[in-house]
């Protein structure tokens, strides 16, 4: 075949490697993807009725403190000045997240100073204060006290994992951010924003080069078409960004993932929630959060429908092989299984495994780009000679 490198998966990892291979090596690159679009889970499209940019696989928010990544992405897109803030509904009342002094004072109908709030939370952790519990429920109480944990974390987490938090490992949360000031910015990174003309336009610019060819609707494991695993592996360098267990036909077992389902709701009003993301902390609401896409881009109000809005309600569950995998479950058993797959992957001739699915890790977008730049330098470039 007339390609120096084949990339399986047109997500951010694959696109970054493709761009680097062309720019730094002059390589001819073939990208294949089983989906009908590039961009992986960061893909977005415009909704004609509302003028909203829909993030097809859930809200994607770019943020980073990594200068290398920030410099790299700004080659392909400008960013808005969007700052992400999240709110949560509990018992019919809306509170700011992450938990901050505003949340605490609103919840307790008080006017605590930072020092008073810290003392209160330590007191409310009770006998769990300063301990290191093994389960998530007790860990949460030890970190932020029982009242705040039970109001904002317990039921949300139970919905997210379909499991009682007392049966979940404490490592899932590790820490719960509590800010003893009124800062309700969700991220603390140096840079933050959304691509000015959308995610898909950004991705298209990354591979706007005649030496990069993209073939969509193409399954790497389908031997009835030429760009398949059997025909390519060992004959040409391959960057594989699909599920690592699928690559080996699940021969050691399935790695477990969480997936997300979305229910679209349209409203005959210009703004339903007044914010982009509204969490629902209570168990009587079956979804974890709702995303109102118009509110990510207030700078586009002139091109948005002032009388219509679209909201996606987000439901979390365990994934099957047929689902889109989002979050690795990462139990000790899963980690051990992944290590076995990683050992097999290391033996594959001229194959580099990368991205969220290929390495069984949850990455934000900036992490994906950073690991892709490193993978190109350390693993892909040597294969290109």
Number of domains in the chain: 2
Residue 88, SS3?
Answer: strand
Q: Based on the residue annotation, tell me whether 245 is a catalytic residue of this protein.
A: no
Phi, psi at residue 193, to the nearest 5°?
165, 180
Q: Where residue 240 sits, what CATH number does that domain have?
A: 3.40.50.720
pLDDT of residue 168: 85
Which one of the listed residues 72, 82, 289, 338 is annotated catalytic?
Answer: 289
Q: Based on the residue annotation, tell me whether 175 is a catalytic residue of this protein.
A: yes
The residue from 172, 200, 219 where one domain ends is 172
Q: Based on the residue annotation, tell me whether 356 is a catalytic residue of this protein.
A: no
Task: Give 113-148 pLDDT, tens digit per residue.
Answer: 999 999 999 999 888 888 888 899 999 999 899 999
Q: Based on the residue annotation, tell me whether 334 is a catalytic residue of this protein.
A: no
Whether omega before 98 lies within 30 degrees of 0, making that bond cis, reads yes
Whole-structure pTM value: 0.94
Average pLDDT over residues 300-310: 97
318-327: b (≥16 Cβ within 10 Å) or e: ebeeeeebbb
Task: Give 55-105 pLDDT, tens digit per residue.
Answer: 999 999 999 999 999 999 999 999 999 999 999 999 999 999 999 999 999
Q: Based on the residue annotation, tell me whether 362 is a catalytic residue of this protein.
A: yes
Whether residues 90 and 119 fall in one domain: yes
Looking at the domain assignment, is residue 23 inside a domain? yes
The residue from 172, 204, 227 where one domain ends is 172
Which one of the listed residues 49, 222, 269, 362 is annotated catalytic?
Answer: 362
Q: Based on the residue annotation, tell me whether 289 is a catalytic residue of this protein.
A: yes
DSSP state for residue 1 in the 8-state scheme: -
Whether omega before 338 lies within 30 degrees of 0, making that bond cis, reads no
Which one of the listed residues 2, 175, 268, 284 is annotated catalytic?
Answer: 175
Whether residues 122 and 216 fall in one domain: no
Whether residues 334 and 229 fall in one domain: yes
Which one of the listed residues 179, 240, 338, 370 is annotated catalytic?
Answer: 179
pLDDT of residue 210: 97
Which one of the listed residues 258, 338, 341, 376 is annotated catalytic?
Answer: 258
């Amino acid at each position: 075949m007339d390609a120096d490198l084949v990339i399986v998966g047109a997500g951010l990892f694959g696109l970054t490697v493709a761009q680097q291979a062309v720019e730094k090596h002059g390589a001819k690159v073939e990208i294949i993807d089983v989906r009908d679009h590039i961009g992986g889970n960061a893909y977005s499209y415009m909704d004609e009725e509302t003028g909203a940019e829909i993030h097809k696989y859930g809200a994607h928010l770019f943020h980073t403190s990594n200068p290398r990544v920030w410099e790299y992405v700004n080659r392909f897109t400008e960013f808005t000045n969007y700052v992400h803030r999240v709110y949560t509904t509990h018992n019919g009342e809306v509170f700011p997240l992450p938990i901050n002094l505003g949340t605490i004072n609103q919840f307790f109908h008080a006017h605590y100073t930072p020092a008073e709030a810290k003392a209160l939370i330590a007191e409310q952790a009770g006998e769990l204060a300063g301990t290191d519990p093994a389960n998530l429920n007790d860990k949460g109480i030890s970190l932020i006290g029982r009242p705040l944990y039970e109001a904002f974390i317990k039921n949300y987490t139970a919905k997210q994992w379909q499991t009682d938090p007392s049966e979940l490992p404490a490592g899932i949360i590790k820490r719960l951010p509590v800010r003893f000031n009124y800062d309700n910015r969700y991220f603390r990174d140096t840079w933050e924003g959304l691509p000015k003309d959308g995610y898909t336009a950004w991705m298209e610019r990354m591979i706007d080069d005649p030496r990069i060819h993209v073939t969509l609707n193409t399954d790497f494991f389908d031997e009835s078409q030429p760009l398949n695993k059997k025909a390519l592996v060992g004959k040409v360098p391959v960057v594989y960004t699909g599920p690592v267990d699928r690559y080996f036909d699940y021969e050691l077992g399935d790695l477990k993932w969480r997936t997300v389902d979305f229910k679209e709701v349209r409203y005959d009003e210009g703004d339903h929630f007044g914010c982009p993301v509204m969490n629902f902390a209570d168990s009587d609401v079956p979804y974890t959060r709702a995303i109102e896409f118009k509110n990510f881009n207030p700078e586009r109000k002139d091109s948005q429908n002032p009388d219509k809005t679209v909201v996606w309600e987000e439901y979390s569950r365990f994934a099957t092989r047929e689902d889109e995998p989002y979050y690795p479950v990462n139990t000790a058993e899963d980690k051990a299984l992944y290590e076995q797959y990683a050992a097999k992957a290391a033996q594959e001739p001229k194959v580099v495994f990368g991205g969220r699915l290929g390495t069984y890790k949850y990455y934000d977008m900036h992490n994906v780009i950073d690991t892709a730049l490193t993978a190109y330098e350390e693993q892909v470039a040597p294969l290109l000679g």
